[in-house]
Amino acid sequence: MKFRRTLLGLALVATAMGFATGAMAQAAYKPEYKMSLVLGPPTPWGQAGKIWADLVKERTQGRINIKLYPGVSLIQGDQTREFSALRQGVIDMAVGSTINWSPQVKQLNLFSMPFLMPDYAAIDALTQGEVGKELFSVIDKAGVLPLAWGENGYREITNSKRPIKSPEDLKGMKIRVVGSPLFADLFTALGANPTQMSWADAQPALASGAVDGQENPLFLFTVLKMQNVGQKFVTTWGYVADPLIFVVNKEIWASWTPADQAIVKQAAIDAGKQEIAIARKGLVEADKPVLKDIAGMGVTVTQLSPAEREAFVKATRSVYAKWKPTIGNALVEKAEKAIAERK
């Protein structure tokens, strides 16, 4: 009888401890989690964060509340510091750019290799295949947990001077570029004068004429009405694309129950799929309505022929060759193979 009472007592203690652990886990949840974004709604990037946050709140019945911090405001607007801040716990979650994180994770420069990805099927072949899995493993080892892919889109070039149809048209042009050495090498090879600056600094520089042009996904052109800062010429050349990555700080991830971890991950995957469709809208249709909209703003839109594009490919091959070992020869070759075999 005494033995049974002891067993019963141990069972009650275990049950009580279980409740206590569950309560502690619940108590350990922060009232609010900080998500870093470079851009806010109404851009596809900003929508990626909002969709993810909304899905998580709904599916966890409010256990996990996420507040968006666009403009990388948690790190004083310096987007190249975002990955380090995630690792250190200054930021809890992010939907971040492969370009902005490439200074800390050199393999992410893969997506900035000039003219590697000729179409959207090529992007998908990388992010949704073995290359994407390998890059997620690299990010994980670098100290941040990746959950899903999104998309910032192909980066097209705009300027205030003239239509760009050949590398010669770029000669001497001051082009604002992101803070990545690869971009500086690329535009130098094309004869331009690359100028690295944050987007906050770029807009007044374009308006004043201190900088002639810039490169970005076309949604930014329409959202910001960039014809009003002198950008009268657009060339679609599809030279690089910028996938986005949904990530969580590892300590934050470990503080959630396995059930909530599964919810957050699935919400990221679902948000990523929705956001990719938003980012491509108006550009994948045969008549490309986004280009029509931009032309309607009084802007000259140039679409390169295959032969014209090839001239840019040849002019940047030295940059491709220089960066291939830095990114990893095997990884680049795996990417080239996946693109060649794409459907």
Q: How does the average pLDDT of the chain come out, rounded? A: 92
**pLDDT higher than 50, residue 270:** yes
Please tell me the total number of residues recorded for the chain in this structure: 343
Per-residue pLDDT at 95: 98
Domains 31-153+242-280 and 156-240+286-338 share a fold: yes
**pLDDT higher than 50, residue 8:** no
Model confidence pLDDT, tens digit, residues 104-116:
999 999 999 999 9
Per-residue pLDDT at 293: 95
Model confidence pLDDT, tens digit, residues 186-245:
999 999 999 998 888 899 999 999 999 999 999 999 999 999 999 999 999 999 999 999
Model confidence pLDDT, tens digit, residues 40-92:
988 999 999 999 999 999 999 999 999 999 999 999 888 889 999 999 999 99
Domain boundaries, the chain: 31-153+242-280, 156-240+286-338
Q: What kind of architecture, by CATH, is found in domain 31-153+242-280?
A: 3-Layer(aba) Sandwich (3.40)
Looking at domain 156-240+286-338, which of 3.30.1360.230, 3.40.190.170, 1.10.3720.10, 3.20.20.150 is its CATH number?
3.40.190.170
Q: What is the pTM of this model?
A: 0.90
